[in-house]
């Protein structure tokens, strides 16, 4: 969002009854939208608005002095939302383009967008641009093909050399598929926006609080977790009659009120059994319960970490993706496992439950 002034207060006639705090809060809670407040002209009266706008939605407050930098700013924001690796690569590309005399505005922009726990990554000498890296890769490819002319020269000498030359050919072929592994790497689920999610066409429920270390005063029925596990669970969550229908459930970690939701886990179920608590059925597994306890015990900037949940019912006709029909909860579960890398990955064998370390806002959402 780009502008130079602050909006009218909610009680003003010019606001027409709109409260920007409620609007951005709803966007962040239900859709995970982060607003990047880009302030122009640096007016002191407008600075608190742009700073609060970014803070409420886990975005960033940026300054725009020159219109020529707006393209780099938009690209940097998009890459940051897509993932830290993409953001670092674009920063190196801009630094290589600007050289040693990088503009102060761009330097300040990358500093504001960069997470506090990650230093700046500057391009190494001799590897300043993606074009140079591509040239080096192109020069390195023909190496396996040099084995063929050597084999032809060795033919008149002895039969043993022919066998040796033929043995070297399979070794050269084994090195060819290596680059394909990087291209097929699954994106992390917490870095995928809702608009790019493969199941974004389903009717998802709003995000609701599922578990917290302290019982929130929000009108829901909060009960202690089972056993000696710390925290409370929302006993009124998923208690309607529709719990008997096939659905996909997603769980996200929120490191404070009005902050971005980081999706870490999913479960597809044909139905939640009658008389069974939703958390015992959807979050079963000793490894998952232990991870929830570790996450809830943390505090991010004085705020309690909360586990959020949502669901979407699966149609009887299945879910169509790229012309292929995925039927039932098992078909959708297989689709999500092949498409995304969730930070919490349960397994039927509890000894094999593994997680991927993820840190956001100086807080571990998975470890």
CA separation, residue 63 to residues 21, 224, 360 (Å): 21, 46, 23
β-partners of residue 344 are 355
DSSP-derived secondary structure letter, 305: P
Burial of 138 per CB tally in 10 Å (0-12, 13-18, 19+)? exposed
pLDDT for 252 equals 96
* Predicted model pTM: 0.52
pLDDT class for 258, splitting at 50, 70, 90? Answer: confident
Which pair of tokens denotes residue 238?
Answer: 């998923």
pLDDT at 255 over 60: yes
- Nearest CA among 348, 345, 361, 339 for reference residue 253: 361
Q: Tell me the mean pLDDT in the region 327-354.
A: 80
The tokens for 319 are 């879910």
Q: Is the pLDDT of residue 164 over 80?
A: no
Length of the chain (residues) = 367
Of residues 361 and 332, the one with the higher pLDDT is 332
pLDDT at 320 over 60: yes
Q: What is the mean pLDDT of residues 48-63?
A: 86
Helices then strands, each counted (H, E), the chain = 12, 17
Is residue 179 pLDDT above 60, yes or no?
Answer: no
Tell me: the pLDDT tens digits for 130-152? 444 444 444 444 455 555 555 55
Q: Residue 62: is its pLDDT beyond 50?
A: yes
CB neighbours of 196 closer than 8 A, spacing ≥ 6?
Answer: none
Q: pLDDT grade, residue 123 (50/70/90)?
A: low
């Amino acid at each position: 969002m780009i502008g130079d002034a602050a909006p009218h207060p909610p009680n003003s006639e010019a606001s027409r009854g709109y409260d920007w705090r409620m609007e951005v809060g709803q966007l962040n809670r239900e859709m995970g939208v982060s607003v990047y407040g880009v302030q122009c002209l640096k007016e002191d009266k407008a600075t608190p608005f742009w700073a609060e706008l970014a803070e409420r939605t886990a975005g960033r407050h940026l300054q725009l002095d020159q219109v020529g930098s707006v393209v780099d700013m938009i690209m940097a924001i998009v890459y940051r939302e897509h993932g830290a690796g993409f953001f670092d690569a674009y920063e190196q590309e801009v630094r290589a383009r600007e050289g040693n005399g990088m503009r102060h505005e761009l330097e300040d922009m990358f500093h504001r967008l960069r997470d506090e726990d990650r230093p700046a990554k500057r391009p190494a000498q001799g590897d300043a641009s993606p074009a140079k890296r591509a040239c080096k890769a192109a020069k390195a490819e023909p190496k396996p093909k040099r084995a063929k002319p050597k084999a032809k020269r060795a033919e008149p000498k002895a039969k043993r050399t022919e066998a040796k030359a033929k043995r070297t050919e399979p070794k050269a072929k084994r090195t060819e598929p290596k680059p394909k592994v990087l291209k097929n790497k699954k994106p992390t689920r917490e870095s995928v926006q809702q608009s790019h999610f493969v199941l974004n066409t389903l009717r998802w429920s709003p995000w609701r609080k599922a578990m917290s270390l302290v019982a929130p005063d929000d009108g829901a029925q909060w009960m202690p977790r089972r056993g000696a596990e710390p925290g409370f669970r929302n006993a009124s969550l998923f208690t309607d009659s529709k719990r008997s229908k096939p659905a996909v459930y997603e769980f996200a970690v929120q490191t404070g009120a009005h902050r971005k939701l980081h999706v870490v886990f999913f479960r597809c179920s044909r139905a939640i059994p009658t008389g069974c608590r939703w958390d015992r059925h959807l979050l079963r597994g000793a490894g998952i319960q232990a991870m929830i306890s570790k996450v809830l015990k943390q505090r991010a900037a004085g705020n309690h970490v909360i586990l959020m949940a949502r669901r979407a019912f699966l149609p009887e006709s299945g879910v169509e993706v790229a012309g292929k029909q995925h039927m039932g909860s098992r078909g959708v579960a297989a689709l999500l496992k092949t498409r995304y890398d969730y930070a919490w990955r349960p397994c039927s064998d509890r000894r094999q439950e593994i997680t991927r370390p993820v840190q956001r806002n100086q807080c571990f959402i998975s470890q």
